Amino acid sequence: RSPAYSEPHRPQFHFTPPENWMNDPNGLVYHEGEYHLFYQYNPYGEQWGHMSWGHAVSDDMLHWEHLPVALEEENGIMIFSGSAVVDRQNTSGLGTADNPPMVAVYTGHYTDEDNPRQDQRIAYSLDNGRSWTKYTANPVIDEAMENFRDPKVIWHTETERWIMVVALPTRHKVRFYSSPNLLDWKLESEFGPAGATGGVWECPDLFELPVDGREGESRWVLQVDLNPGSVAGGSGGQYFVGSFDGKTFSRDEHARERTNWVDYGKDFYAVQSFSNMPDNRRVWLAWMNNWQYAGVIPVKPWRGAMTVPRELGLAMTEQGPRLYQQPVPELQQIYKERHQMEDIQLTAGEDVRHDQLRGTAFRMKMTVRMEDAKQFGVRVRKGESEETVIGYDVAQEQLFVDRKKSGEVKVHESFADTVQAAPLETDNQYITLDILVDHSSVEVFANEGRRLITNRIFPRAASDRIELFSRGGTVHIDTLTFWPLKSVWNT
């Protein structure tokens, strides 16, 4: 154990397990003042294996308390990804009316190579997730399939029943099942192949969101992960916008032209949203990694980190309603101080540094007018011969993150072979950037979270400088706000 959380590259405000391997977030659920985070976990080592559900709780999605492993591999069946719900009306009968059960729905993965198989199973807890019982009549869905995984269960209010969306990875499809009680499931429909199909489909999510500025209008979002074949290479996520009537998901007509990527970086996978959140909030977080190199990133004695929790919304665009993501407002609780600057004029070729702008864990927000510049950017985690560049290119209308010189880059051949780029339009010459930097990551939220780039980086601890630059013309920064962030592990 390492309670100090002070090892090289240890994230300071992102979730990581104390030790050992972690991949997907699982079972994200809010219940009685607590957020639960379960995660794909190997209790025995730093590589993928013995998959179980690790567990942590928090009251703000930032400060986490580690709890014992919730669900362990047993009898040759690993506990693969899945979700959790609070069965408030005790429809399952696994609890009582006074003490409704928390129910985890996960994939059972058979480790016997002669009998490859995946099925859907449940477990329940009657003590706020502290202890778990596997349902005796598991599995609850068995289609004798080799690839059939990652159930996400939601309560569908209109039809008053449970809906499970689950992936058929190699067929590039998801299936929808319905149930009155979480135990008996009926196949309703399938969706796919659609969108990007260059890899297996995994870890679907499904939720409804209001459309900003359209009274009473809402759309359904179906999110599906893809490995490999994602926009930045390797694993990543896409989403579809449409309607869902409790049986079938139908993609909106105008939504069909191009793939909607949830994030254009290399390190955003298996995203899942919390269920049962108060105030109709929809918040999700992802595994901040890529299957291309997840097993060889230079960290010890743990491996794997989650992104910051992000609040979701739908904004109207010319292509129809589109997802945006913003860091949760809870983040303000870990602001150390605040530096605000106004009217910074950058001339071409100038590199600007400010005494207050320095750090290895911070948030930085800017409203930038491009004027006649060709490129604008900020170099973060800059030190001797290393830097991570976050920038905007006017001619290409692209946001980019370049980690080619970010520190330890020889991690894997796919780690620093490309620059991550995302389409981004200026609005009357303006762009906004909201940047979260931690000891081993950069998350960029551009134009109010409409475009995202999430990347891991492994710079030296001493690389703490920040530099602003302009190329080919002038740039005007209307406002720049900078907040050094506290560690969530020793406060």
Q: Which of 122, 194, 203, 305 lies at the binding interface for ligand FRU (CB under 6 A)?
A: 203
**Contact call for residues 299 and 292 (beta carbons, < 8 A):** no
> Residue 61: left if φ>0, alpha if ψ -120 to 50, beta else—which one?
left
Considering only residues 64 through 83, tell me which ones interact with ligand FRU, judged by CB under 6 A.
80-81
The number of angstroms, rounded, from the C-alpha of 43 to the middle of its chain's C-alpha atoms is: 22
- Which DSSP state fits 459? -
d(C-alpha 392, C-alpha 370), whole Å = 9
24 is catalytic: yes
Question: Which of the residues 24, 119, 402, 438 is marked catalytic?
Answer: 24
Among the listed residues 206, 172, 212, the one whose alpha carbon sits nearest the alpha carbon of residue 191: 172
* Partner residues linked to 429 by β-bridges: none
Q: How far is the CB of 200 from ligand FRU (least distance, A)?
A: 8
How many residues line the site for ligand FRU (CB under 6 A)? 12
Contacts with 337 (C-beta within 8 Å, 6 or more apart), sequence order: 483, 484
Considering only residues 2 through 31, tell me which ones interact with ligand FRU, judged by CB under 6 A.
23-24
Q: How far is the CB of 270 from ligand FRU (least distance, A)?
A: 5
Q: How far is the CB of 335 from ligand FRU (least distance, A)?
A: 32
Q: Is 107 in the site for ligand FRU (CB under 6 A)?
A: yes
Show the binding pattern over residues 145-184: x = contacts ligand FRU (CB under 6 A), - = does not.
----xx----------------------------------
227 versus 441: smaller Cβ distance to ligand FRU: 227
Q: How far is the CB of 468 from ligand FRU (least distance, A)?
A: 37
Q: Which of 29, 51, 206, 271 lies at the binding interface for ligand FRU (CB under 6 A)?
A: 51
Q: How far is the CB of 15 from ligand FRU (least distance, A)?
A: 16
Instruction: Please name the amino acid found at residue 441.
Output: S
What DSSP string runs through 250-310? EE-GGG-SS-EES--SS--EEEEEPBS-GGG--EEEEE---TTTGGG-S--SEE--BPPPE
Q: Is 91 in the site for ligand FRU (CB under 6 A)?
A: no
Q: Is 270 in the site for ligand FRU (CB under 6 A)?
A: yes
Show the binding pattern over residues 30-49: x = contacts ligand FRU (CB under 6 A), - = does not.
----------x---------
Count Cβ neighbours within 10 Å for each residue of 181-198 and write b for 16 or more, e otherwise. Answer: bbbebeebeebbebbbbe
Show the binding pattern over residues 278-307: x = contacts ligand FRU (CB under 6 A), - = does not.
------------------------------
d(C-alpha 486, C-alpha 482), whole Å = 13
Show the binding pattern over residues 236-265: x = contacts ligand FRU (CB under 6 A), - = does not.
------------------------------
202 versus 393: smaller Cβ distance to ligand FRU: 202
Write down how long the chain is. 491
Torsion sign over Cα 260, 265, 271, 274: negative
16 versus 23: smaller Cβ distance to ligand FRU: 23
**Contact call for residues 191 and 249 (beta carbons, < 8 A):** yes
The number of angstroms, rounded, from the C-alpha of 443 to the middle of its chain's C-alpha atoms is: 11
Q: How far is the CB of 149 from ligand FRU (least distance, A)?
A: 5
Q: Which of 73, 87, 202, 438 lies at the binding interface for ligand FRU (CB under 6 A)?
A: 202
Q: Which residues are catalytic?
A: 24
Residues that bind ligand FRU (CB under 6 A): 23-24, 40, 51, 80-81, 107, 149-150, 202-203, 270
